[in-house]
């Protein structure tokens, strides 16, 4: 087992990474002083796979456990389901000496985190991510949110978990499409921060797709360490943390226009990264070979690269509602070769995106 630390002074917390470590959950909770009364929030799919096991593990260790099940899918990451979870906590008499466990993927983690930040003005929570995307990205860093019909993650808060337990054995039950979606975020880390990691991914496609345990642990550890390093320097995205949005501005527009859940988050980010790299190429920040290397690796992991056929006006309108718009200007994260990146305010999005979408 690997243990990383997200260093945020009094809000610091551990990330436990390993294979078959779910049974050690009570030890982790005890280590961070977690309450003994907990609500496990999960979705219908994950509940059928892991809810009984988690409840038994916790009950044997003396925890009082209440299960809250939400529907499965991105379209349910909304204010209505958020309110339903809050109502359940109120009805069950949960107080500030209670805690929440997010058992599932990014939807469960984001929604549970926002509930934790909001309920009684804040109760502790722990992330138990079961998808690759949530293990390498959304479970770490304290971004919690629900979607609004006009934009993704527009309602939320920065609220750090007390800990993250990542058991890569849960990836054995993950659909291939969901695994590929998570790999988009992994590839992102290589593009913006670590060329050697990008090359390692290119050499390890078969091992990863065959769910080799040591390769998965390495991918999760490397991704979480890169994200933790960035979050430690910029917890609330005032500057550096924005680089984690590489591919996300255009990707979120794809998700919004397609209808949440129709295109997976990682699939949209895959397309968004390639669009961003083409803008980088136009500006001389990377070479055609860099764009080809990114496109090739995305293809190897069975990720889409073709831009959905919405109009430029539709894309511009959707991006204009993005969280990353500042003073009316869109901020773009652009790769500098493979392994580095920069952030630019874009004064003319129509020109920038029009030049690479047609």
Instruction: Dump pLDDT digits (tens) for 96-119.
Output: 999 999 999 999 999 999 999 999
The three-state secondary structure class of 82 is helix
The pLDDT assigned to 25 comes to 98
Percentage of the chain beyond pLDDT 90 is 92
pLDDT at 326: 66
* Helix (H), strand (E), coil (C) string for 289-327: HHHHHHHHHHHHCCCCCCCCCCCHHHHHHHHHCCCCEEC
265 labelled ligand-binding: yes
Q: Span 321-333, mean pLDDT?
A: 78
Instruction: Break the chain into its structural domains and give their ranges.
Output: 2-173, 176-357
Confirm whether residue 108 is marked as ligand binding: yes
Any known ligand binding at 112?
A: no
Contact 201, 304 (CB under 8 A): no
The model's pTM: 0.94
- What is the model's pLDDT at position 329? 82
Mean pLDDT over 259-264 rounds to 89
81 appears as a binding residue in the annotation? no
Element (H, E) at 350: helix 349-357
Q: Mean pLDDT over residues 247-258, rounded? A: 94
According to the annotation, is 18 in a ligand binding site? no
Is residue 150 pLDDT above 80, yes or no? Answer: yes
Q: What is the model's pLDDT at position 152?
A: 87
Asked if 124 contacts 99 with a C-beta cutoff of 8 angstroms, the reply is yes
> Can you give the pLDDT at residue 22?
97
Is 73 assigned a ligand-binding role in the annotation?
A: yes
Top CATH class, 2-173: alpha beta
Return the bridge partners of 325, or none: 330
Is 19 among the annotated ligand-binding positions?
no
Residues 6+ apart with CB under 8 A from 349: 316, 319, 320, 330
Check residue 195 and give its pLDDT: 97
Flag whether 74 is marked binding: yes
Strands 37-43 and 98-104: parallel
Output the DSSP codes for 213-280: HHHHHHHHHHHHHHHHHHHHH-TT-SSGGGGGGTTHHHHHHHHHHH-BTTB-HHHHHHHHHHHHHHHH
Q: Is 309 annotated as a binding residue?
A: no
Residue 45 among known ligand-binding residues: no
Q: Is 326 annotated as a binding residue?
A: no
The answer to whether 248 is annotated as binding is yes
19 in Cβ contact with 11 (< 8 Å): no
**CA distances from residue 207 to 87, 130, 180, 248 in whole angstroms, order as listed:** 44, 19, 13, 27
User: 143 - beta bridge partners?
Assistant: 158
Average pLDDT score, the chain = 95
pLDDT tens-digit map of 312-325: 999 999 998 876 67
Q: Give the model confidence (pLDDT) of 273-316 as tens digits.
A: 999 999 999 999 999 999 999 999 999 999 999 999 999 999 99
As a whole number of angstroms, the distance between CA 132 and CA 29 comes to 22
302 is in an annotated binding site: no
173 is in an annotated binding site: yes
Q: pLDDT confidence of 327, banded at 50, 70, 90? A: low
**Model pLDDT, residue 323:** 66
- Confidence band for 261, pLDDT divided at 50, 70 and 90: confident
| 243: pLDDT strictly greater than 90 | yes
What is the mean pLDDT of the segment spanning 257-284? 95
DSSP letter at 141 equals S
Low-confidence winner among 78-92, 97-111, 322-336 (lowest mean pLDDT): 322-336
Flag the least confident range among 139-143, 185-189, 277-281: 139-143
Confirm or deny that 264 is annotated as ligand binding: no
287 among the known binding-site residues? no
SS3 2: strand
Q: Is the pLDDT of residue 358 over 80?
A: no
CATH no., domain 176-357? 1.20.1090.10
User: Is 339 flagged in the annotation as binding?
Assistant: no
Is 131 labeled as ligand-binding? yes
Spatial neighbors of 265 by CB under 8 A, at least 6 apart, are 74, 106, 133, 181, 251, 255
């Amino acid at each position: 087992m690997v243990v990383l630390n997200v260093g945020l002074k009094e809000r610091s917390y551990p990330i436990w990474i390993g294979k078959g470590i779910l049974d050690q959950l009570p030890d982790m909770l005890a280590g961070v002083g977690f309450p003994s009364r907990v609500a496990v929030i999960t979705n219908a799919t994950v509940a059928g796979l892991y809810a009984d096991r988690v409840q038994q593990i916790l009950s044997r260790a003396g925890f009082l456990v209440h299960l809250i099940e939400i529907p499965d899918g991105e379209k349910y990451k909304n204010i209505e389901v958020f309110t339903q979870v809050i109502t359940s906590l109120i009805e069950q008499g949960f107080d500030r000496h209670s805690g929440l466990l997010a058992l599932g993927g990014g939807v469960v983690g984001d929604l549970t985190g926002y509930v934790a930040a909001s309920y009684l003005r804040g109760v502790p929570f722990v992330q138990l991510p079961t998808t690759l995307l949530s293990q390498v990205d959304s479970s770490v860093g304290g971004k919690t949110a629900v979607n609004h019909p006009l934009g993704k993650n527009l309602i939320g808060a920065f609220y750090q978990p007390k800990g993250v337990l990542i058991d890569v054995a849960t990836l054995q039950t993950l659909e291939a499409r969901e695994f590929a979606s998570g790999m988009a975020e992994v590839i992102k880390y290589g593009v913006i921060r670590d060329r050697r990691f990008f090359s390692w991914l290119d050499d390890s496609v078969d091992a990863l797709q065959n769910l080799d345990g040591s390769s998965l642990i390495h991918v999760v550890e490397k991704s979480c360490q890169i994200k933790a390093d960035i979050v430690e320097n910029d917890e609330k995205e005032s500057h550096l943390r924005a680089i984690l949005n590489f591919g996300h501005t255009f990707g979120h527009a794809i998700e919004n226009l397609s209808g949440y859940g129709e295109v997976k988050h990682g699939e949209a980010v895959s397309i968004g990264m390639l669009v961003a790299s083409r803008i980088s190429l136009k500006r001389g920040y990377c070479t055609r070979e860099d764009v080809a290397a990114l496109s090739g690796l995305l293809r190897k992991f069975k990720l889409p690269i073709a831009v959905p056929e919405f109009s430029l006006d539709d894309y511009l309108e959707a991006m204009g509602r993005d969280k990353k718009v500042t003073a009316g200007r869109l901020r773009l994260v652009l790769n500098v070769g493979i392994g580095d990146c920069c952030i630019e305010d874009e004064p003319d999005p129509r020109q920038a995106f029009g030049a690479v979408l047609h």
